Amino acid sequence: MHAHDPQPMEFGPLGPLQGSTRVPGDKSISHRALMFSALARGRSRIQGLSGGGDVMSTAAAMRAMGATIARAGDGIWEVDGVGTGGLLQPAQALDMGNSGTSTRLLMGLVATHSITATFIGDASLSRRPMNRVIEPLSRTGAEFTASPGGRLPLTVRGICPAAPISHSLKVASAQVKSALLLAGLNTPGVTRVFEPIPTRDHSERMLRHFGVDIQVEERDGGRDIALRGEAELEAREVQVPGDPSSAAFLAAAALIVPGSEVRIEGVSVNPLRAGLFELLQLMGGDIALDNPREVDGEPVADLHVRHSRLRGIQVPAHLVPSMIDEFPIWFVIAAFAEGTSRAGGLGELRVKESDRISAMAAGLAEIGVRAEESPEGLAIEGSGGAAVPGGGTILSQLDHRIAMSFAIAGLHAQRPVRIDDMAPVATSFPAFQSTIEGLAA
């Protein structure tokens, strides 16, 4: 059902990267913009929506549950919502493709509506455990039938009215937090979530933008979030900023390829997402955040990145949650720094689209970089800015970030780096290759 023809590709030096560019709309914000617009009364308009496969999985699911979603002119999407509580019974299984975010957040939505939905996905998504969402959502009264190990295919039987829950997250996770808040929208009373470490707060910011009563208080280094249920979402205009996870690949290329200077316009610099850029500045990276501004409650800036001599670093623990998706590309950047770089506390990377710690360690070895794997992280010996040996074939394991990370490594390698399959890149950054080639022209 999800078989695709692999797209092997080679990446070698293209010379310095120069000029200005934009990246796709932020994936996390795009998912939420579609979901909240679909629950609102009236017509919302979304500008800058990510066109990647993951976000299109969310659009298809919201259509299957009654929302009207259409692409208008000028890259604007129009969504006619069903109102909170108005989701319809989908006629068939909801195909989530490769999108863990779509799956976990929509499980929360379905849990408190009187509908039953079955979630299916590709081979990579079907390996990912869903128990940490199933467990707290079960306390609303919803019922879950999952495949062994809490995996897809998985069926949710929603309940309405549901019971509001108070939940303290054991592991910091924006997806679990968001699933519980989405469940709370159609639940009487107040739903409360405590997170011990602040995680990306796009749901809280955007729910407020749609008129939901949501309160956030700092407590014990974490955050208490309270959402008043049976919320009426009002249709809104939403502008989605550029995706920092996509921008990270272009920033990495500019930092490691001698003579490069790149400007990436309109990128989300939400402090709970922009940890990578802060870390790269600590390593000596020449990265300026120009023209800072706020767009629909989200902080945005233009990134100005120049080739830099980078120093090896131990990643500070407090930055880990705000760059969890960017570690694959950071491992590649570390391969070009002076000395050894280390990161720990990354256990969550073992249950992403692939086991990202093992996949990156194997790939780095393949291109001649010394990396030592530990249960929770990696230590990487850098080249001091020199080109890495390159060569070899990288097994991307259906993981878009692994594929793109090693493509960037190839731009400053002695021999071209071959990626076994670039097809998964379409889930998040369909124009990745043409954007790189455009900057190199």
Per-position DSSP letters for 166-192, written without gaps between them: EEE-SS--HHHHHHHHHHHHTSSSEEE
Residue 2 lies in a domain: no
Q: Give the C-alpha separation, 50 to 47, whole Å.
A: 9
Q: What is the pLDDT of residues 57-93, one digit of tens each?
A: 999 999 999 999 999 988 899 999 999 999 999 999 9
Residue 159 in contact with residue 141, Cβ under 8 Å? Answer: yes
Say how many domains are in the chain: 2
Largest CA distance in the chain: 62
Closest CA to 173 of 354, 355, 349, 360: 349
The verdict on whether residue 352 carries a ligand-binding annotation is yes
Q: What is the pLDDT of residues 105-146, one digit of tens each?
A: 999 999 999 999 999 999 989 999 999 999 999 999 999 999
Per-position DSSP letters for 268-319, written without gaps between them: E--TTT-HHHHHHHHTT-EEEEEEEEEETTEEEEEEEEE----B--BPPGGG
Q: What is the pLDDT of residues 184-232, one digit of tens each?
A: 999 999 999 999 988 889 999 999 999 999 999 999 999 999 999 999 9
- The band of 52, judged by pLDDT with boundaries at 50, 70 and 90, is confident
Quote the percentage of the chain above a pLDDT of 90. Answer: 89
pTM summary value: 0.88
Considering the domain architecture, whether residues 199 and 299 belong to the same structural domain is answered as: no
Considering the domain architecture, whether residues 191 and 313 belong to the same structural domain is answered as: no
The verdict on whether residue 205 carries a ligand-binding annotation is no
> Is 325 a residue of the active site?
yes
For the chain, how far is it from start to end, CA to CA, in angstroms?
38
The verdict on whether residue 27 carries a ligand-binding annotation is yes
Residue 282 in contact with residue 332, Cβ under 8 Å? Answer: no
Q: Is 381 exposed, middle or buried (0-12, 13-18, 19+ CB in 10 A)?
A: middle
Is the predicted pLDDT of residue 352 greater than 80, yes or no? Answer: no
For residue 297, the model assigns a pLDDT of: 86
Is the predicted pLDDT of residue 310 greater than 70, yes or no? Answer: yes
For residue 3, the model assigns a pLDDT of: 65
- The band of 2, judged by pLDDT with boundaries at 50, 70 and 90, is low
For residue 1, the model assigns a pLDDT of: 45
The verdict on whether residue 356 carries a ligand-binding annotation is yes
Instruction: Work out the average pLDDT over 44-53.
Output: 94
Better-scored residue on pLDDT, 437 or 318: 437
| 107: helix, strand or coil | helix
Could you tell me which residues come within 8 angstroms of residue 16 by beta carbon, excluding any fewer than 6 positions away?
A: 257, 258, 259, 260, 261, 307, 440
Beta strands 286-295 and 237-239, pairing class: unpaired
| DSSP secondary structure letter of residue 338 | B
Residue 399 lies in a domain: yes
The verdict on whether residue 401 carries a ligand-binding annotation is yes
Structure tokens at 62: 């919201």
Considering the domain architecture, whether residues 432 and 322 belong to the same structural domain is answered as: yes
Mean pLDDT lowest for which of 11-15, 100-104, 109-113, 351-355? Answer: 351-355
Structure tokens at 67: 């929302």
For residue 409, the model assigns a pLDDT of: 98
The verdict on whether residue 22 carries a ligand-binding annotation is no
The verdict on whether residue 28 carries a ligand-binding annotation is yes
Q: Give the C-alpha separation, 387 to 389, whole Å.
A: 7
For residue 354, the model assigns a pLDDT of: 75
Residue 203 lies in a domain: yes
Q: Which residues of 284-313 are buried (b: 16+ CB within 10 A; e: fewer)?
A: ebbbebeeeeebbebbbbbbbbebbebebb
Closest CA to 112 of 40, 39, 175, 61: 39
- Residue appearing with tokens 């256990």: 347
From residue 305, alpha-carbon distances to 247, 249, 391 in Å are 11, 12, 27
Considering the domain architecture, whether residues 227 and 270 belong to the same structural domain is answered as: no
Q: Give the C-alpha separation, 433 to 352, whole Å.
A: 23
- Residue appearing with tokens 């709309």: 25
Domain boundary among 239, 260, 292: 239
Residue 1 lies in a domain: no
Closest CA to 402 of 350, 365, 360: 360
Considering the domain architecture, whether residues 225 and 271 belong to the same structural domain is answered as: no
Considering the domain architecture, whether residues 389 and 252 belong to the same structural domain is answered as: yes
For residue 266, the model assigns a pLDDT of: 97
Domain boundary among 187, 215, 239: 239
Residue 408 in contact with residue 12, Cβ under 8 Å? Answer: no
Considering the domain architecture, whether residues 335 and 415 belong to the same structural domain is answered as: yes
Is the predicted pLDDT of residue 243 greater than 90, yes or no? Answer: yes
Considering the domain architecture, whether residues 223 and 333 belong to the same structural domain is answered as: no
Better-scored residue on pLDDT, 423 or 197: 423
Q: What is the pLDDT of residues 30-48, one digit of tens each?
A: 999 999 999 999 999 999 9
Residue 4 lies in a domain: no
Length of the chain, please? 441
Q: In the beta sheet, which residues pair with residue 18? A: 261
Considering the domain architecture, whether residues 345 and 275 belong to the same structural domain is answered as: yes
Domain range enclosing 55: 27-239
Structure tokens at 321: 């949650």
Residue 172 lies in a domain: yes
Is the predicted pLDDT of residue 239 greater than 90, yes or no? Answer: yes
Considering the domain architecture, whether residues 271 and 223 belong to the same structural domain is answered as: no
Domain boundary among 239, 270, 296: 239
Region for residue 150 given its phi and psi (left: phi exceeds 0; alpha: psi -120 to 50; beta: otherwise): left
**Distance, CA of 339 to chain centre:** 30
Q: What is the CATH number of the domain that holds 75?
A: 3.65.10.10
Annotated active-site residue in 95, 122, 325, 399: 325
| 305: helix, strand or coil | strand
Considering the domain architecture, whether residues 428 and 296 belong to the same structural domain is answered as: yes
Considering the domain architecture, whether residues 145 and 206 belong to the same structural domain is answered as: yes
Angle at 403 between CA 354 and CA 51, to 5 degrees: 95
Residue 206 lies in a domain: yes
Is the predicted pLDDT of residue 358 greater than 60, yes or no? Answer: yes
Phi/psi of residue 69, each to 5°? Answer: -130, 120
- The band of 441, judged by pLDDT with boundaries at 50, 70 and 90, is confident
**Distance, CA of 396 to chain centre:** 17
For residue 427, the model assigns a pLDDT of: 86
Residue 3 lies in a domain: no
